[in-house]
Amino acid sequence: MFALIGLALAASLAASGQAVTQAENHAPSATPAPAAGHIPMKIGVIQAQTALVNTKDGQHAISEMNARLDPSKKNIEKMANDIRELQDKLQRGGNALADAARADMQRTIDLKTKSYNRAMEDAQAEAQAEQQKVLDELSQKMISVIDKYAQANGYAVIIDVSNPQTPVLYASNTVEITKDIVELYDKTYPNAGAATPAATKPAAAAPKPSATPAVTTPSTPPKKQP
């Protein structure tokens, strides 16, 4: 989930950064503008997804998202366990079952597996929708905080290196601003995520459903000769 958030946030930063900058250029700002004739030269790097999930706002949003996804997760786990139990039962007693009973059990496994696959697809779609909801709520705030920080500290470029596709081969620790952005975000939005204690670690991302249980069809035992 964090990887998806990082990729989506990077896209959002690229798409919205210019609009935010233009809007702030036309609005009064408490941040002093660079002196006339001064051209910002500093370059910074940020782990944007790390910054997002370590803000109090991000921790609270992820915790709420996990709570919303938990029922689907438990339902899928139960379906997978039911299928595995039927497979084990068929494997252990297949030779002792009549052909009709064995075929009926296999049909039940096949039907449950199809239902499982549909439920897993629905759960993945639900998780993506929830992740997008979190991004929509938080990314614009993060963009405005980064823009505010860059203007106040004379940065010409800030690069998000949380995306592995970002073409940055080396960056000194001295240009890392992730921690500063988290602190500035929490100061800028002091009431965000108030229900989540500050010491709470970011909630784990909702795990993807386990892989589809393999359906094993036992070989048909040879019929006894009369």
**Interval 52-104: pLDDT, tens:** 989 999 999 999 999 999 999 999 999 999 999 999 988 887 677 788 888 88
Statement: the pTM of the whole predicted model exceeds 0.85: no
* Total count of domains within the chain: 1
Measured between its terminal Cα atoms, the distance across the chain in Å is: 61
Residues 112-140 have pLDDT tens digits of 999 999 999 999 999 999 998 888 889 89
67, part of any domain = yes
Q: What is the C-alpha to C-alpha distance for residues 31 and 21, in angstroms, rounded to an integer?
A: 13
Is residue 60 within 8 A of residue 198, CB to CB? The reply is no
221, part of any domain = no
86, part of any domain = yes
Instruction: Classify strands 155-160 and 42-46 as parallel, antiparallel or unpaired.
Output: parallel
Contacts for 192 with CB less than 8 Å, ≥ 6 apart: 55, 56, 57, 60, 141, 186
Is residue 38 very low, low, confident or very high in pLDDT (cuts 50, 70, 90)? low
79, part of any domain = yes
Domain residues for the domain of 115 are 2-15+41-188
226, part of any domain = no
Residue type, 82: D
165, part of any domain = yes
205, part of any domain = no
Q: What is the C-alpha to C-alpha distance for residues 216 and 137, in angstroms, rounded to an integer?
A: 45
